């Protein structure tokens, strides 16, 4: 089983739609969780950290389910500028404290 797994997509949604991505991780001892955004051939940029209680930042909501070992990202009112690849990052996966990246989920928002 892969350490961090994501549905690669692409998710193709109209502007204004709500879209959700999930990410599963294999190591139950994992400690820190993040969502990064990566535009084509650019560096990953932190979108938000994911806390046990869930957290929200504007149109973005992240949640953690430790029992089922997954994290989610919800994007409301999608904008064209949200088109990107969303990377799930888990630390403490496989006994390491190194941030481990999922393959990413591609989102395409169309007019």
51 lies in the binding site for other proteins (CB under 8 A): no
Among 71, 87, 90, 107, binds other proteins (CB under 8 A): 87
Tell which positions 15-44 bind other proteins, by CB under 8 A: 31-32, 34, 38, 41-44
Nearest to 36 by CA among 101, 83, 92: 101
94 phi, psi to nearest 5 deg: 70, 25
1 lies in the binding site for other proteins (CB under 8 A): no
Among 23, 64, 71, 102, binds other proteins (CB under 8 A): 102
Cβ proximity to other proteins: between 38 and 69 the closer is: 38
Among 11, 21, 25, 101, binds other proteins (CB under 8 A): 101
Cβ proximity to other proteins: between 45 and 59 the closer is: 45
By the criterion CB under 8 A, which residues form the site for other proteins?
31-32, 34, 38, 41-46, 49, 87, 91-92, 96-104
């Amino acid at each position: 089983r892969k350490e961090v797994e994501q549905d690669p997509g692409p998710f193709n949604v109209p502007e204004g739609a709500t879209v959700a991505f999930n990410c599963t991780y294999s190591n139950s001892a994992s400690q820190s969780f993040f969502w990064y955004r990566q535009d084509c051939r650019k560096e990953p940029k932190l979108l938000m950290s994911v806390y046990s209680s869930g957290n929200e930042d504007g149109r973005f909501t992240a949640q953690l389910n430790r029992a089922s070992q997954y994290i989610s990202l919800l994007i409301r009112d999608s904008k064209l500028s949200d088109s990107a690849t969303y990377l799930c990052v888990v630390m403490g996966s496989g006994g390491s404290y190194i941030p481990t990246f999922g393959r990413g989920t591609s989102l395409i928002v169309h007019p």
